[in-house]
Structure 1
Amino acid sequence: MVGNHTQVTWFRLLELTEQEEFKGILFVLFLLIHSVTVMGNLGMITLIHADPQLHTPMYFFLSVLSFTDSLFSTVNTPRLLESFLISRQSISFAGYMVQMALMSLHGTAECLLLAVMAYDRFTAICHPLVYHTIMSQCLCVLLVVTCYTVSVANSALLTGCIFKLPYCGPNVINHYFCDIPCAPSCLFSYAYILMTTCRMRSLQAQSKALSTCASHLTIICLFYSTITFMYAQPSSHNSMEHDKGMSVFYTVVIPMLNPLIYSLRNKDVKYALKRRCLCKLSS
């Protein structure tokens, strides 16, 4: 008991939509998206580790990002799918805390990995002669370990602070998953990259420099524009409805788009995929 009120032991999560006629279609759509997300990201990881041509810092970070995207999508998509089949979903206090902690962990890791990948592209374009010296295997592993260490610490701190408070009010949450806004920026590296590229005298050199970071810049723009739109707008009832739609985009759709963007816009990945297909056909 807290004062004269009973401590909340469960929460009710509202559905993405209350229109019954759309739930079956949405269930099939999001099941397909989640399947493509998992297969695409795991396929990207397998391709990177199987092809020696992709054993570079850039693709090492991409494989870690694909792993994070798979987990990020898996944390809340199954419950989203369940909400289309079962109305009036509820989640225990402990379950809510675990889901929020996992969303915070993987969301923070995603942001930090994008920042690390921006630093990698910054080093490759602005310091090409010492790139391989700076981005050694030891440093790459250390950066990834640091990303996840900071993510775990951030998740534990935020979740601990939030759930240390007593919950005795309304237990209805106008969302379909447990969320914490968190988005560190990594756009300063790209501002410097663009400045360095503009100083290059050769158009061919400019084109080559931009092509090496085009895929990553596309992903950053999609991810941060979505998060900025969600958390920068004033809070209201209508904004909460929009937030649910935007949350679907950055937690479900973007993890599916990441491997597609890198495979379609990246020559190295396309060549590696062709080599693997030809090897299988020849064998």
Structure 2
Amino acid sequence: MTLFNYSPITERPPIAWPDGKRVAFYVGLNLEHFLPGEPSTSIWPLDVTPDPLNHGWRDYGARVGIWRTIDILDRYGIRASALVNSMVVEHNPQIIRAGVERDWAWLAHGQTNSILHTGYLPDDERPILTEITTAIESATGRRPRGWMGPALTETVNTPALLREHGYQYVLDWTNDDQPYHLNVPGMISVPYTVELNDLGLFLRGLSGPDFLQMVKDQFDVLRDESAASGRVMALALHPFVIGQAFRAKYLDLALEYIAARPDVWLTTSDEIATHYLTS
């Protein structure tokens, strides 16, 4: 059985978002823990231990960048969809508390972004998912309903095992501008993005003004296309990237533009999933 069927966006029943809004916009805020000495996202790949250059670059997000990012989200009343490694619960509890105070949506993002979620047999994967889910629920008071694997990884069994744990959606399959049903009863895919993603954009050398223009263009086109059926716009952020001072000002300008549009639904991935599943 394939995980999902082919469905052209031109051949689906129309989606209507609440209050006649045309574009459902959410921020996927990656809250990640990295293991010192283990390979992971790097600004300058080196095979050394310890690795102050790369680990320090990543760690800036938890120490500084996240707080700058939170201030900007607060300014526009945007609740994050927090994609959280379960190890963040132990290592960065202040970030979890800040998100709970702001009623963020909480999605499981594996244990750590130093370990990809792949290669597990079901009997090995099931307890790992239980551990991840329990840690996030205990810290936030809310059982996660959505999943995005570290570096968008999952096994062929992950969606079905997630459903056993009460999950309703995954973000790993970035192949659509609308939610769609998976061939796992009760599970859907909600759009995420590897294109409008600060990590990929800025590490390829794009500037802050480039980022701002891309956000505007993405919204404008999706808004135009949504005349007959609603669209989803995801913005993927990593605090160690967008939280750098010289980039954060352009996030501020981008969210100012989005929040001022009268036909945008500022929402979370949880709310998008709920609306799609119950409409």
Query: What range describes the TM-score normalised by the shorter chain of this pair?
Result: under 0.3
TM-score (normalised: structure 2)? 0.27
More strand, by proportion: 2
More helix, by proportion: 1
TM-score (normalised: structure 1)? 0.26
Larger Rg over CA atoms = 1
